[in-house]
């Protein structure tokens, strides 16, 4: 690739990244301002500094302390009696971790069956499953609410977690495609040794499909971590809130602009796990991108 072309590509990438990241930078800068200066930054372009003159790092503990209705009274108190941010964090972690685990295991198992288990009716069943992918989940929003309500699951994490254990047509499809490409020779020896299909899946096949596991896990994680509509419908009491809706409650409670610096601090803390996860997993996600990279 010529140097000139490289320079153009870099210039475009840097410009694009700067534009996309500027709002996030703004969040960071405002999160470190004093309340007064943050209000001015939010109310007047001239009041905004790219980097605060006097960074207020204590905004972060203050912001996390202020989330939720119970006032912050120190760590020991928070750990003993619960606290808005810690509760929301724990709820989010629980829902996200269980959903991710359930989604990976169930989708991998069903995808494996569709790829490697020959059974009567497999083709039509698979096509049928693909067709259900086209059905938008929206139409089930109300009946599912009624169903979960009659089960007494409202205001518990169950409606958000349990469905993940039943697979998802898209991820099943991805797993099937991957499992179908694994050469038979690899499992021959295991089969001769008398390994059952389930053991072959768990011990041989599953470790091989890391890119699909990464894809399923990361997408499920990010979806659950940031999901807004689901928790809004199912979680009603503050102790059950996830971070996404706890933040919204925090904003409405303290009237938006008046505590914009604390809101920004809390938002940045909330998004941190997703950013780190993407940075770590992107190679797996885009799967050996370097090998197939377009030679310009």
Q: Are 153 and 233 in contact (CB under 8 A)?
A: no
User: Is residue 21 part of the contact set for another protein (CB under 8 A)?
Assistant: yes
Residues comprising the chain, all counted? 296
How far apart are CB 75 and another protein at their closest, in Å?
Answer: 24
Q: Are 266 and 85 in contact (CB under 8 A)?
A: yes
User: Is residue 253 part of the contact set for another protein (CB under 8 A)?
Assistant: no
User: Is residue 4 part of the contact set for another protein (CB under 8 A)?
Assistant: no
User: Is residue 255 part of the contact set for another protein (CB under 8 A)?
Assistant: no
CA angle at residue 23 from 18 to 29, to 5 degrees? 100
CA pair distance 21, 149, nearest whole angstrom? 41
Within 214-243, which residues bind another protein (CB under 8 A)? 222, 225-226, 228-229, 233, 243
User: Is residue 195 part of the contact set for another protein (CB under 8 A)?
Assistant: no
Residue 107's closest CA among 268, 7, 216?
Answer: 216
Instruction: Choose the binding region for another protein from 56-64, 65-73, 93-101, 179-187 (rule: CB under 8 A).
Output: 179-187
How far apart are CB 77 and another protein at their closest, in Å?
Answer: 26
Residue 106's closest CA among 50, 57, 170?
Answer: 170
How far apart are CB 251 and another protein at their closest, in Å?
Answer: 5
Residue 84's closest CA among 237, 211, 257, 272?
Answer: 237
Nearer to another protein, 55 or 288 (CB): 288
Nearer to another protein, 75 or 228 (CB): 228
Within 48-77, which residues bind another protein (CB under 8 A)? none
Cα torsion 82, 88, 91, 92 to 10°: value is -150
Instruction: Choose the binding region for another protein from 58-66, 79-87, 142-150, 202-210 (rule: CB under 8 A).
Output: 142-150
Q: Which of 79, 80, 141, 189 binds another protein (CB under 8 A)?
A: 141
Buried b (16+ CB within 10 A) or exposed e, 154-177: beebbbbbbbbeebbbebbbbbbe
Nearer to another protein, 207 or 296 (CB): 296
Within 119-138, which residues bind another protein (CB under 8 A)? 119-122, 125, 129, 132, 134-138
């Amino acid at each position: 690739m010529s140097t000139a072309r490289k320079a153009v590509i870099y210039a475009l990438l840097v410009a694009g990244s700067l534009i996309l990241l500027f709002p996030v930078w703004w969040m960071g800068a405002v999160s470190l301002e004093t309340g007064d200066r943050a209000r001015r930054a939010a109310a007047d372009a001239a009041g905004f500094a790219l980097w605060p003159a006097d960074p207020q790092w204590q905004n972060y503990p203050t912001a996390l302390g202020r989330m939720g209705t119970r006032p912050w009274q120190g760590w020991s108190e928070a750990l003993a009696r619960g606290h808005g941010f810690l509760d929301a964090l724990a709820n989010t972690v629980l829902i996200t971790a269980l959903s991710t685990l359930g989604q990976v295991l169930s989708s991998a198992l069903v995808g494996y069956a569709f790829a490697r288990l020959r059974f009567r009716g497999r083709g039509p069943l698979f096509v049928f499953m693909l067709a259900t992918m086209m059905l938008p989940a929206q139409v089930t929003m109300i009946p599912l609410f009624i169903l979960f309500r009659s089960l007494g699951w409202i205001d518990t994490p169950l409606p958000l977690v349990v469905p993940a254990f039943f697979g998802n047509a898209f991820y099943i499809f991805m797993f099937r495609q991957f499992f179908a490409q694994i050469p038979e020779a690899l499992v021959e020896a295991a089969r001769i040794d008398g390994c059952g299909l389930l053991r072959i899946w768990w011990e041989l096949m599953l470790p091989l499909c890391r890119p699909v596991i990464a894809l399923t896990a990361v997408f499920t994680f990010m979806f659950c971590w940031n999901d807004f509509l689901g928790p809004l419908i199912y979680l009603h009491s503050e102790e059950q809130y996830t971070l996404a809706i706890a933040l919204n409650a925090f904003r409405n409670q303290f009237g938006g602009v008046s505590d914009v610096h604390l809101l920004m601090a809390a938002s940045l803390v909330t998004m941190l796990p997703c950013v780190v996860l993407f940075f770590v997993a992107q190679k797996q996600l885009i799967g050996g991108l370097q090998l197939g990279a377009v030679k310009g």
